[in-house]
């Protein structure tokens, strides 16, 4: 992956090429051995005026004439691209597939970016009426607080932990530590969410190479196996949901993923979850069954989700501190878990990490994709 952050000196294509070349090199391959590519990208047309980015990437990475396909599923674009790549290999159609994710978001100002990201919800019924993504997640936070007694301190504890993890990750956008008090005193974005409850606006790219396990072993000393891939959908608009305090698509995708991997939530050593806002991490760890419903906030405040806790959540710094270049996030989760399972997450390594889980959400939960990774 590239470092996540503000890349004023690099263009969209530079970012994705940097990440892609690193991934192909790590896999021990030459570019001409790759037979297909998938790229997660949410909104390059609106953000940088460039459509047809799969062709752009194939061209500038020297991948022509192999098929390269863009995958769009809002902030889950990267995770869904990974799943498409996984299925292309699992089907026997391709042996070596490169999966990338990329977004360049800083060329526009915050208002314009908010408007574009808002298109991941229901344009007519939400965005047009003034509901931005911080607004939608604020509604979920309010409901979670009402139902389970979750507090603003518990939300803040997610940000404090993720900044602590980010301070150990040289690829993270924010590497500064923060305190609960700093979070609580930061400016209100959409009550009860404050500036430090939000993921930032980020440029960055990430990439991985997929291959059948037996073939991968011949090229890489430490290949990591994808033992489950599951995806589920729910209503695009929040007002149509049965409950606002959970993401049902995550619950369904997680159930399928655990069945496919033949493991349960207790077996997960390390997880990268979709903390676009602090409340999203609390809902994620509950919906994934890592903690009981309503207990995610308390568990976070008690330090049970940090390094050395029961299950380490977002060792990369998560979306909050590592940054959230929307189309790249799902692939970056796979990169972080690969480092963790290889024992190469220097400074933030989870001891003996054997099983990792990634959960990537599109919009306010209309798409959720869960992958489970295992040391081979």
Ligand X SMILES: CC(C)(COP(=O)(O)OP(=O)(O)OC[C@H]1O[C@@H](n2cnc3c(N)ncnc32)[C@H](O)[C@@H]1OP(=O)(O)O)[C@@H](O)C(=O)NCCC(=O)NCCS
Question: Is 324 annotated in the active site?
Answer: yes
Q: Which residues of 30-68 are buried (b: 16+ CB within 10 A; e: fewer)?
A: eeeebbbbbbbbbbbebbbeeeebbebbbebbebeebeb
Contacts of 105 (CB under 8 A, 6+ apart): 47, 113, 201, 202, 203, 325, 326
CA distance 41 to 47: 11
Q: Considering only residues 199, 333, 340, 360, which one is a binding residue for ligand X as defined by CB under 6 A?
A: 199
Q: How far is the CB of 335 from ligand X (least distance, A)?
A: 20
Question: Is 371 annotated in the active site?
Answer: no
Catalytic residue, from 7, 75, 163, 371: name it: 75
Among positions 46-105, residues that touch ligand X (CB under 6 A) are 75
Cβ distance to ligand X smaller for residue 34 or 75: 75
CA distances from 312 to 135, 194, 270 (A): 28, 24, 5
Q: CA 151: distance to chain centroid? A: 25
Q: Does 276 bind ligand X (CB under 6 A)?
A: yes
Cβ distance to ligand X smaller for residue 248 or 374: 248
CA distance 299 to 158: 10
- Candidates 80-88, 110-118, 248-256, 335-343: pick the segment binding ligand X (CB under 6 A): 110-118
Q: Considering only residues 101, 200, 223, 330, which one is a binding residue for ligand X as defined by CB under 6 A?
A: 200
- CB-based closest residue to ligand X: 110
CA distance 94 to 89: 5
Q: Does 114 bind ligand X (CB under 6 A)?
A: yes
Cβ distance to ligand X smaller for residue 139 or 195: 195
CA distance 303 to 298: 9
Q: Does 324 bind ligand X (CB under 6 A)?
A: yes
Catalytic residues: 75, 324
Site of interaction with ligand X (CB under 6 A): 75, 110, 114, 117, 133-134, 174, 189, 195-196, 198-201, 276, 324
């Amino acid at each position: 992956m590239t470092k996540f952050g503000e890349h004023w000196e690099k263009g969209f294509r530079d970012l994705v090429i940097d990440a892609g070349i690193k991934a192909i090199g790590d896999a021990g391959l030459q570019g001409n051995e790759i037979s297909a590519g998938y790229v997660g990208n949410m909104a390059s047309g609106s953000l940088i005026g460039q459509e047809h980015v799969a062709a752009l990437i194939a061209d500038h990475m020297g991948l022509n004439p192999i098929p390269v396909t863009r995958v769009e599923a809002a902030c889950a674009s990267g995770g869904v691209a990974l799943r498409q790549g996984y299925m292309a290999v699992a089907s026997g159609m391709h042996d070596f597939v490169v999966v990338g994710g990329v977004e360049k978001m800083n060329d526009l100002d915050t208002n314009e970016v908010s408007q574009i990201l808002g298109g991941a919800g229901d344009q007519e019924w939400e965005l047009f009426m003034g509901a931005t993504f911080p607004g939608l997640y604020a509604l979920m936070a309010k409901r979670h607080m009402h139902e389970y007694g979750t507090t603003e301190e518990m939300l803040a504890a997610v940000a404090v932990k993720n900044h602590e993890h980010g301070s150990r990750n040289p690829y993270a956008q924010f590497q500064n530590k923060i305190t609960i008090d700093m979070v609580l005193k930061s400016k209100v974005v959409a009550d009860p969410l404050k500036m430090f409850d939000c993921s930032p606006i980020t440029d960055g790219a990430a990439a991985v190479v997929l291959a059948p396990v037996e073939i991968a072993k011949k090229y890489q000393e430490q290949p990591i196996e994808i033992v489950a891939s599951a995806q589920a959908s729910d209503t695009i608009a929040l007002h149509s949901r049965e409950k606002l305090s959970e993401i049902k698509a995550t619950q369904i995708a997680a159930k399928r993923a655990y069945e496919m991997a033949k493991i349960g939530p207790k077996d997960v050593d390390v997880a990268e979850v979709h903390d676009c806002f602090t409340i999203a991490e609390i809902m994620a760890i509950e919906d994934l069954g890592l903690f009981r419903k309503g207990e995610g906030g308390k568990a976070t405040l008690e330090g049970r989700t940090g390094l050395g806790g029961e299950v380490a959540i977002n060792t990369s710094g998560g979306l909050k501190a590592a940054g959230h270049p929307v189309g790249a996030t799902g692939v970056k989760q796979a990169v972080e878990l690969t480092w963790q399972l290889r024992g190469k997450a220097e400074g933030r390594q989870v001891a003996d990490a054997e099983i990792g889980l990634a959960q990537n959400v599109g919009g306010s939960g209309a798409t959720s994709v869960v992958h489970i990774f295992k040391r081979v």
